[in-house]
Structure 1
Amino acid sequence: MSWYCDIAPGHPFHGPYHDQEYGFPLTDQRALFERLCLEIFQAGLSWLIVLKKRPSLALAFDGFDPAKVAAYGEADIARLMADAGIIRNRRKIEAVIENARRLLRLSEEFGSLAAWIAAHHPLTKPGWIKLFKSRFVFMGGEVVGEFLMSIGYLPGAHRADCPVFARIHPLDPPWMRVGAEFYAKA
């Protein structure tokens, strides 16, 4: 098994993401939406492509503000499809827009995406996938699993001997509260 911890150190794109974001607990609505969108854009591509295009994606999608993205229409889709700085996949772009709309509805019900996720914790990985598929679109196992690992809800972002693991551990990510053994059964 290869670990992100092995390729990230010193890399200009992977390094900062690995050291400062990956696996850290995250609750900010806009940041959660961005992370979910980035995982959608990554499907079938390398994470390096997504990291390189991340600034352009953020600019093109109004900083991943869910309310702004939810209001996008056909003119916005055309604008995005013409933007060479982003990943121009119509299905992914439409999924991001639809998920912004669904996120706003979910937030009316639960208060925020973070609260919705916390309300369903703990689940096994298959349980999380089923839950996300019931509320959002373009939610395959890899998208859901990587999203939840990247925000501290599933273990596996870092090996125990990775220096970042030691920095995350005191932050009490949700998977540590339940115990990695729970997820090993999944």
Structure 2
Amino acid sequence: MSYCTYCKNLPEDNHHRIYHDNHYGFPIESDNELFERFVFEINQAGLSWDLILKKQETFRQAYHRFNIEIVASYDETEIERLLHDPGVIRNKLKVNAAIHNAKEILKLQEEFGSFKNWIEHHHPKTKEEWVKIFKKTFKFTGGEIVNEFLMSTGYLKGAHDEDCHILDKINNGKS
């Protein structure tokens, strides 16, 4: 079987390989899971994806499993809790962005029925068009963050090499 260049020699139990084979580029139906991926991409900025993959479960615990309503209601006490939690990235701008973005997603859910519907409403777009939309709507959304979020959730191409067998799996709708 053919794999993407960056992971073809990784063992099956490697977290990069598991992410590649089961998550990267696959469509996501749940708004909370979309929000989770969005927060992961924001927190990865300036850091390694390896660090985020290693901390993903502690992130889930710290951010109430990425329940959008709960994160949107975070107050100063919750912000301080997160800024002192070694299981997450303790960056106030990133923490505040997660809370702000959760609030924005709640507004989008009211208007479009879901975060996913909002994305679908704008799809397809170029990376540049997506970046403008995200910057207008959310915080901490540079070009690379938006690109990786949309590639990792299947809205932009490029998550897998063209000959990677996982791309076939995605294109055939198998998860």
Task: Give the alignment's TM-score, normalised by structure 1.
Answer: 0.88
Which letter maps to 2:148? E
Report the alpha carbon displacement of residue 82 of structure 1 after superposing the two structures with TM.
0.8
- Judge which range, 75-84 or 9-18, deviates more: 9-18
Residue in structure 1 matched with residue 49 of structure 2 by the alignment: 47
- Specify which of 135, 138, 152 is matched with residue 136 of structure 1: 138
In angstroms, what is the RMSD of aligned CA positions? 1.4
Q: How many residues align?
A: 169
Runs of 4+ in 1 over 6 A off after TM superposition: none
Residue identity in the other structure for 2:107: R
Q: CA deviation at 1:44?
A: 0.5
CA distance in 2, matches of 1:96, 1:106: 15
Q: Distance in 2 between matches of 1:81 and 1:88?
A: 5
List per-residue Cα deviations over 1:7-55 (Å, max 9, x = no partner).
3332621011000000011121110000000000000101000000111
Cα deviation for residue 169 of structure 1 reads 1.4
The answer to whether the 8 Å contact 1:110/1:116 transfers is yes
Query: Which residue number corresponds to residue 65 of structure 1?
Result: 67
SS at match of 2:4: helix
Structure 1, unpaired ranges of 5+:
173-186
Which amino acid in structure 1 is aligned with residue 70 of structure 2? K
Query: Residues 5 and 161 of structure 2 are in contact (CA less than 8 Å); yes or no, is this contact kept in structure 1?
Result: no
Bigger relative CO (Cα 8 Å, ≥ 6 apart): 2
Identical-residue share of aligned pairs (%): 49
- Please show how residues 18-97 of structure 1 align to structure 2 within 5 Å: 18-97=20-99
CA-to-aligned-CA distance 1:39-89 (integer Å, 9 cap, x gap) = 000001010000001111110000000000000000001101111111111
Three-state SS of the structure 2 residue aligned to 1:105 is: helix
For 1:154, the equivalent position in structure 2 comes to 156
Q: Residue in 1 aligned with 2:5?
A: 6
3-state SS of paired residue (1:108): helix
The 2-side partners of 1:89 and 1:160 are apart by: 36
